[in-house]
Chain A
Amino acid sequence: MCLGVPGRVVEVRGQTAVVDFFGVRRETRLDVVDEPVGPGDYILNHVGFAIRKIPEHEIAETLALYELLLREAEHDIMAADVRGEIGATPAVEGPPDV
């Protein structure tokens, strides 16, 4: 298995998308992705096929999730069912943002 690389769709031509991977463009097939994909969308590419559309908001959510882990670990155990509440409360003191 390989590190699938995420890229931004620039153009769509039928079943093929032109995707920008950090400054390099490449064609990717859209046959297997399960959502409509248009310019501006992020996709995950694996062996020349887009396997997933990555919603932008998920990226921020994932980062927030990791922040949460750090705060938990710093302040000992918190049960998983309490985490939802923690997520909604204002941040407690944590490591200074570098």
Chain B
Amino acid sequence: MSATGLKSPADVRDELVTLKHGAGGRAMRRLIVETLAEGFAADQPEGIGLAAMDDGAALRVGDRWLVVTTDSHVVHPIFFPGGDIGRLAVAGTVNDLAMMGAVEPLGLTCAVIVEEGFRRAELERIHRSMHETCREAGATIVTGDTKVMGRGELDGIVINTTGVAFADAVIPDAGLRPGDRLLVTGTIGDHGLALMARRHALQLEGDLRSDVAPINRLVAAALAAAPGAVTAMKDPTRGGLSSALHEMAEKSRVGVVLHEPALPVRSVIRSVAEMLGLDPLHIANEGKAVLGVRPDAADAVLAALRAHPLGREAAIVGECITEHVGRVILDTGLGRRLVGEVEGEPLPRIC
């Protein structure tokens, strides 16, 4: 019960599903816990399952782990600077597997639902993209499904991909410990801003492109550089680095301090974000990971990341502390403040 004894709007169950339930934040987690995952907890096989709400599930098979993950892709526009829905569908799933420590995908499924009237040529373009991305990741599509819905019953196309891979050790997103260093594999804010510029027709001219890419091989290099030293991993997709760190900090029961001057941000992203009143920390990435690393191994892991083409801008950006559990503190170089958690897609402000 609240301080005033009054019922909070947040306590009242939403009877209608709205866009905020898909935004990746608190509202979505509540929907999952209360409605979608409800009742399945008792029947989970050994391993990391629904309760963990991690990037995927890890099921024990003999002395190894079978990691499974699934994702549905509804991105708009379907073609954007730097990529398209096909590339996103493959990279997203390959990356979720990699975030659990499974860097060699065994196979991907691909289920496509297409709206009547969709252009064949665009479907081919998407297919080529998926093929190319699979090649980069060393993955392949092993089975799929195809459905067509009537005009107006679906918005263009929806792609679901499921991935499976083995891992010898699973890296949860909840494994951070005080003292661990936090590394990001490259620049932040690229994907979300590229899409936002297109979606809101922001009439900006500048090199904004998505970073969408499969990073399983990059992650493999990091894990090999310091076996056992990577304690937690997550890909900062919806909600950005802020969301990923908040979740990791909360689950791991630590606090996080980030050093703003150390954050790799492209200057064009910095400017556009500032113009729109947005924070790069809240903007989605689709080709990056954040890693928690034991302090004595941080430099080795950083070197391994930077040696890889996708990790040239990797950086150590912060560390974990015992205080301020679940919170992310930003040291701006001038002072300190909290990084807020943002619900829903950030709307550009007036400027």
Contact = CB atoms under 8 A, between A and B. Distances in A.
Direct interface between A and B, CB < 8 A: yes
Interface of A: 2-5, 18, 21-27, 45-47
Interface stretch (B36-44, B160-168, B264-272, B287-295): B264-272
B205 interface: yes
Contact of B275 (A18, A21, A27): A21
B351 interface: yes
B349 interface: yes
A24 B351 contact: no
Contacts, number: 44
Given A2-B351, A4-B351, A24 B271 contact: yes
B206 A3 contact: no
A24 B196 CA distance: 14
A71 B271 CA distance: 33
B274 interface: yes
Contact of B270 (A22, A25, A26, A45): A22
A5 B268 contact: no
Contact of B271 (A2, A18, A23): A23
B204 A24 contact: yes
Contacts of A3: 274, 277, 351
B8 interface: no
A4 B275 CA distance: 8
Nearest to A21: B271
Nearest to B193: A24
B350 A2 contact: yes
A28 B13 CA distance: 45
Interface residues of B, number: 17
B4 interface: no
Nearest to A5: B275
B2 interface: no
B203 interface: yes
Interface centre among A3, A4, A23 (most CB of B within 10 A): A23
Contacts of A18: 205
A45 B204 CA distance: 14
Nearest to A24: B206
**Most-contacted residue by chain B among A3, A45, A46 (CB, 10 A):** A3
Interface in B240-278: 267-268, 270-272, 274-275, 277
Contacts of B208: 24
B204 A5 contact: no
A13 to B, nearest CB: 14
A25 B207 CA distance: 10
The residue in A4, A18, A24, A46 that gathers the most chain B C-beta atoms within 10 A of its C-beta is A24
A47 B206 contact: no
A5 B351 contact: yes
Interface string B203-219: 11111100000000000
Given A22-B268, A24-B268, 10 more contacts: A2-B349, A2-B350, A5-B274, A21-B271, A21-B275, A22-B267, A22-B271, A24-B206, A27-B203, A47-B351
A23 B273 CA distance: 12
Contacts of A23: 206-207, 267-268, 271
Contacts of A26: 203-205, 275
A24 B275 contact: yes
A95 B206 CA distance: 40
Contacts of A24: 204-206, 208, 268, 271-272, 275
A3 B207 CA distance: 23
Contacts of A47: 350-351
A45 B351 contact: yes
18 contacts: A2-B277, A2-B349, A3-B351, A18-B205, A21-B272, A21-B275, A22-B268, A23-B207, A23-B267, A23-B268, A24-B204, A24-B268, A24-B275, A26-B203, A26-B204, A26-B275, A47-B350, A47-B351
